[in-house]
Structure 1
């Protein structure tokens, strides 16, 4: 599953060129801000919230709700499983992790134009460069099979969690909370009452 990128990470460039170090620094800031939006891990693994679904339809509904509520946790879980699949080859693990980091910093979470040695590098050039580096690295290291197994394992674990984690008390958005009668239309989501109602 692909994590949803926040609006601040879209290509809304500044008009004043900034140094490459500042571009990377701002990208890292966007990345860490995005990661901080994950749900607390104690909420994710709380043993009191796990039980068996009543039916297949109920399991599907649980999976849908949990996939939305814990989407970033699941993405981190799948990424961790993918990296752990390379634990037997530490050099390749570091290489793939570095390339993934380049994707995050130079493409997904970059919001400023990139200048290298005084020349502007367009988004298309960055994308092509990252794709080429990734393909060459995966072909050279031969880790594609391991990574597919790791990603598959992460997806299976996420699906099992999504089916058996009871989402009662987790509301995906304000509209769903209103449909449950927990807030009135026009209520402020930032109010203490909202925070209290949405807390499991």
Structure 2
């Protein structure tokens, strides 16, 4: 019994004039899209937020009415604020954030402007694929032109609309609440360790989140320089 004949196999060649993808022509991979970098930013911020909230003090301890008394002088009030901040800094940051969120929610126009500005920065510049230029009114804008437009837009939104006044008023109100509580809360029953006393600033809790966000955005920004 004879074996079947073996047929030759040849790779099909593209027809003359057929379009060949640019990536296959150049041998270079397509630039990655911005979704992984954006997800990395969200993960970094979420981890930093969860880590910070895990360090907060019990709210019952913050609102212990038996620990409140009038300060004897301004220097005594300032000392109380410093000590209470070292102990309750995560709680205080939460209070300021809550006041800021309440102010934005009660001012929906400012919230819409701020959300649109944030979206423009994230998806229009920081995490926009480098091979997708911004096209407005039939004109293509370079990365530098896009950055300049976003900076001007940020100045206009923050200083020429109600967004700036809402943010500043909310921050001042939150800081005022924190200072009043810190001045009247007696810190003698609080146990402060050296690490807490070495705190360098009111927003030191956000340092890790800011550095992580910068690290996540750095590759997208570097690709445009």
What is the TM-score with the length of structure 2 in the denominator?
0.50
Q: CA RMSD in A?
A: 3.9
Of 31-40 and 147-156, the range deviating more from structure 2: 31-40
Deviations 1:95-153 (A, max 9, x none): 325646888x89xxxxxxx663246xxxx999867644432322453332333222211
**Aligned match of 2:85 in 43, 46, 67?**
67
CA distance in 1, matches of 2:66, 2:89: 17
Aligned residue in 1 for 2:166: 146
| Residues 158, 164 of structure 2: 8 Å contact kept | yes
State which of 108, 129, 136 in structure 1 corresponds to 2:156.
136
Pick from 182, 186, 210 the counterpart of residue 162 of structure 1: 182
Q: Can you give the 5+ residue segments of structure 2 that lack an aligned partner in the other structure?
A: 1-30, 132-143, 198-225
Question: SS state of the match for residue 182, structure 2?
Answer: helix
- Asked if residue 35 in structure 1 is aligned to residue 19 in structure 2, the reply is no
Structure 1 residue runs without a partner (length 5+): 1-16, 107-113, 177-200
List 4+ stretches of structure 1 deviating above 4 A.
Answer: 97-103, 124-131
Could you say if the C-alpha distance between residues 40 and 100 of structure 1 is closer, same or farther in structure 2, counting changes exceeding 3 Å?
farther
Alignment of 1:1-200 (within 5 A): 19-36=33-50, 37-38=52-53, 39-40=56-57, 42=59, 45-48=62-65, 50-52=67-69, 53-97=71-115, 99=117, 116-118=128-130, 131-139=151-159, 141-167=161-187, 168-174=189-195
Q: 1:20-44, CA deviations, whole angstroms, 9 ceiling, x for partnerless residues?
A: 2222222222222222213145256
Cα separation, 2, equivalents of 1:155 and 1:146: 14
Deviation digits for residues 37-66 of structure 1 (CA, Å, limit 9, x no counterpart): 131452563325631234433321121122
Q: Which residue of 2 aligns with 1:10?
A: none
Which of the two has higher C-alpha Rg? 2
- Please, which moves more after superposition, 128-137 or 72-81? 128-137
Bigger shift: residues 19-28 or 166-175: 166-175
Which residue matches 2:200?
none
The match for 1:6 is none
